[in-house]
Amino acid sequence: AQKITQTQPGMFVQEKEAVTLDCTYDTSDQSYGLFWYKQPSSGEMIFLIYQGSYDEQNATEGRYSLNFQKARKSANLVISASQLGDSAMYFCAMRGSRLIQGAQKLVFGQGTRLTINP
Amino acid sequence: DTGVSQNPRHKITKRGQNVTFRCDPISEHNRLYWYRQTLGQGPEFLTYFQNEAQLEKSRLLSDRFSAERPKGSFSTLEIQRTEQGDSAMYLCASSPPVGDNEQFFGPGTRLTVL
């Protein structure tokens, strides 16, 4: 079974500072994918970044980067130069091998509520 | 270009009534997922379709829940004899046949059972 753990229920950061949101995972699959989603107060889940288990480079998307440490089973999200609009819930998620039927579902952590202070 | 749409956005019902939600995925996406999210929690998987075939159902999906995707396009999720514990946000997502299986989510349907 797959499991995602996010140990920070809430984070408070000053605008323009960088912030790291923690995520650890547990799986017995050799091939898997890791995702981060943002959920503003409006409720919609917004995809931010993806990391494949066999990707050697850490994923980056604009101000978002994923600090992937496979041996430690961690996939932390780093947001550089935070903005007021970054205030939201952030969820880490994983799926199993895309080659295995039934492994496509996402397993989510409990989320971290990020608040950016002006 | 339209994303995933869900209707209704909000539903208030009395305990014991049946409710049905609709999800329209992004047009070229053949994979469709339903999740349930309760307050303060991450989404939990309910069921998954590839085209019209329902390939996986969670144990969370009791006999009162049924989902269909008859023509491989839109999907419906029906809850029969609703209970107060069914109150939640019901999220639909879709993904294309190739790629990293990034799932694109709709705005959700918030169900309140009185």
The parts of chain A modelled with pLDDT lower than 50 are: none
Nearest by CB: B48 against A35, A42, A105: A105
* Interface contact flag, A110 B41, Cβ < 8 Å: yes
Closest residue, chain A, to B105 (C-alpha): A45
Supply the pLDDT for residue A99. Answer: 64
Q: With helix as H, strand as E and coil as C, how does chain B read?
A: CCCCEEECCEEEECCCCCEEEEEECCCCCCEEEEEEECCCCCCEEEEEEECCEEEEECCCCCCCEEEECCCCCCEEEEECCCCHHHCEEEEEEEECCCCCCCCEECCCEEEEEC
pLDDT at residue B91, rounded to an integer? 97
DSSP 8-state code for residue A16: T
- Residue from B101, B27, B30, B28 nearest B72 by CA: B30
Q: Do B105 and A45 touch (CB under 8 A)?
A: yes
- Which of B30, B47, B101, B104 to mutate against chain A (most A CBs within 10 Å)? B101
> Which tokens belong to B86?
């069914």
Mark yes or no for CB contact B42/A91 under 8 Å: yes
Name the minimum distance, in Å, from the CA of A105 to any CA of chain B: 7
What b/e readout covers B39-52, taking b as 16+ CB neighbours within 10 angstroms?
eeebbbbbbbbbee
Distance, CA of B40 to CA of A39 (rounded, Å): 12
Contact call for B55 and A102, based on CB within 8 A: yes
For residue B46, what pLDDT is reported? 95
Q: Which residues pair with B20 in a beta bridge?
A: B78
pLDDT reported for residue B14: 97
- For residue B60, the model assigns a pLDDT of 80
| pLDDT over threshold 60, residue B53 | yes
pLDDT at B100: 67
How far apart are alpha carbons B2 and B106 in whole angstroms? Answer: 10
B16-28 pLDDT, tens digit per residue, is 999 999 999 999 8
Task: Specify the amino acid at residue A102.
Answer: G
- Average predicted confidence (pLDDT) for chain B: 93
CB B111 within 8 A of CB B86: yes
| Distance in angstroms (rounded) separating the CA atoms of residues B72 and B60 | 23
pLDDT digits (tens, 9 = 90+) for B58-106: 888 889 999 999 988 999 999 999 999 999 999 999 998 877 668 999 9
Of the candidates B55, B101, B105, which has its C-beta nearest A95's C-beta? B101
Chain A residues whose beta carbon lies within 8 Å of the beta carbon of residue B108:
43-44
Region B46-65: mean pLDDT is 90
Contacting residues of B for A98, CB less than 8 Å apart = 100-101
User: Which pLDDT score is estimated for A45?
Assistant: 94
